[in-house]
Amino acid sequence: MKHTEDGIDPASSDPLDSSKRQYDVIIIGSGPGGYSAALRSAELGARVALIERDPVPGGTCLNRGCIPTKALLTATQVLEQASLGEAMGIQMQAKGIDYQRLAAYQDEMVEAMTSGLTQLLSQRKVDLIQGEGSIVGDGLVSVRTPDGTVRRLTTCDTVLAMGSRSRALPGIPFSDRVIDSDRALRLKPFRKRALVIGSGDVALEFATIWHQAGTEVTLMIRRDRVLSHWGRRTGLVMTRELKRQGINVITDSTCQAITESSPDKPLTVTYGPTQGGVETSSLETDLVLAAIGRDPQTDQDWMEGLGIDTDDAGQILTDSQGRTSRERVWALGDITPGNHLAHRAFQQGITLAEAAAGLDPEPVKESTIPRVVYSSPQAAAVGYTKQEAQDDPTLNQVEETIYPMQANSRMRMSGYQGTLSLVTACLSSDLDTRIVVGLEMVSPQASENIAEVQQLVGNRVPLDRAAGLIHPHPTFSEAIGEALLKADGRPLNLR
């Protein structure tokens, strides 16, 4: 095989010739989807390269998302628990936040996860290559390393897992005080006042972190409730809880302009109604976090010439196992349509790796992917809302069961309000068997309890069998058991 200055000479390489190509699978992007695809491919005997532009693997989730935000939430929730303790007779006083130690704690959690992943990839003999990866031909991947060197690698299959980036407010670019979630994680100390624009998980989690730490938080949302893509009841209960805790929520509004007269003076935010009307209002704040969504990182120049089908949002279209419209090129995670969640991408990586190896794995089903918001209280959901179930032609006789969370003893002890909505239905092909098709809940520890319902939904467990499962007493999970009993027509601890 001939070599050029930048690596392999394409003319001498046949990517399908396993005796000549360097790798069986090359993955561009090392987030949860990328690294799971790498690990599973290696487990199946493939020669794998994982390309990552950051110094360490893990992508946004491990380095700038899931792990560091949950580390901050874990820390600031200590302050919240101290406040709740006063109502229970516990007298304690927080002296404040040592931001240097808080930053060190956050960094330690990230380093522990990324170093563990690096070791795991090494043990599986996955080549981790730092650089910017791009497809330059069939079975040809170019990597520009941090020192400017360009390498060309040959492969049979290429997996695109580039992830996403924060979306800026229309006409308002990011700056030192109009920030995205990446910069919010590095913000130490926290500001006295902060405006969070958005109604999803990122917005609610940072609103929670800053509020618990003593920041005066305002949340601006486009509709009448947060979590507007969830069930209406869930969103309204969560909105009410945020307000009750002291977060100022401005509903049915959009940001129109942000003015900064000088770096040492407050920002002036002008906003108006979402639907029609010309009347505007304004507020002053020290910081604005834009948390209105994320965009797929598919706008690189090298992507344009590949002929890969995308939707209007730039997301790559694939079949149920991750194949794109270009042969031997696969895609997963935030650059594909669907729930943009780390655990979804992780499972997609496993499915894709098995399909690339010639197996026929079960596709990832969007309806069985749990969704969690780590606010206070937490929100968690899986499966269908009532409306979504009614819109699905494969389902019939859809029913929604509401369980009052204040009937749960642990919920009463927590100091929070919450809600639980259970959706059941019959398959159109089996009208005699009612199954669990969805659940949403607002409560402490909702993130830990939703996995049980994911099993019920994913395995289409009949309602009468699900209602017979035993839950430990007293726990938050008992609420799920009580809701199942109520849906099955035999409520016990409800009047």
Residues placed in the known binding site: 70, 133, 198-205, 293, 334
What would the DSSP string read from start to end of 24-89? Answer: EEEEE--SHHHHHHHHHHHHTT--EEEEESSSSSSHHHHHHSHHHHHHHHHHHHHHHHHHHHHTTT
473 flagged as catalytic: yes
Cβ atoms of 229 and 243 within 8 Å: the answer is: no
Structure tokens at 288: 């604005």
Cβ atoms of 259 and 267 within 8 Å: the answer is: yes
| Pairing, β 267-273 against β 281-285 | antiparallel
Rounded Cα distance between 495 and 489, Å, is 13
Burial class (CB in 10 A: 0-12, 13-18, 19+), 130: middle
Rounded Cα distance between 269 and 246, Å, is 20
- Crossing angle of helices 32-43 and 342-356, in 10° steps, is 30
Candidates 3, 211, 343, 473; catalytic one: 473
Structure tokens at 97: 């936040």
| Interior angle at CA 401, CA 397 and CA 407, nearest 5 | 165
Chain mean position to CA 204:
13
Number of helices (H) and strands (E), helices first, in the chain?
A: 14, 24
Residue type at position 417:
Q
Residue 153: strand pairing partners = 141
In 3D space, the residue among 322, 402, 388 whose CA is nearest the CA of residue 356 turns out to be 322
If phi over 0 gives left and psi between -120 and 50 gives alpha, with beta otherwise, what is residue 445? left
Rounded Cα distance between 179 and 187, Å, is 10
Edge-to-edge strand order for the sheet containing 430-443? 371-373, 378-383, 430-443, 419-427, 395-403
**Residue set of the binding site for NAD(+):** 198-205, 293
Helix (H, G, I), strand (E, B) or coil at 369: coil
| Pairing, β 395-403 against β 419-427 | antiparallel
| Pairing, β 419-427 against β 430-443 | antiparallel
**Residue set of the binding site for FAD:** 70, 133, 334
Q: Which residue do the tokens 């990866």 mark?
A: 133
Cβ atoms of 56 and 63 within 8 Å: the answer is: yes
The residues annotated as belonging to the active site are 473
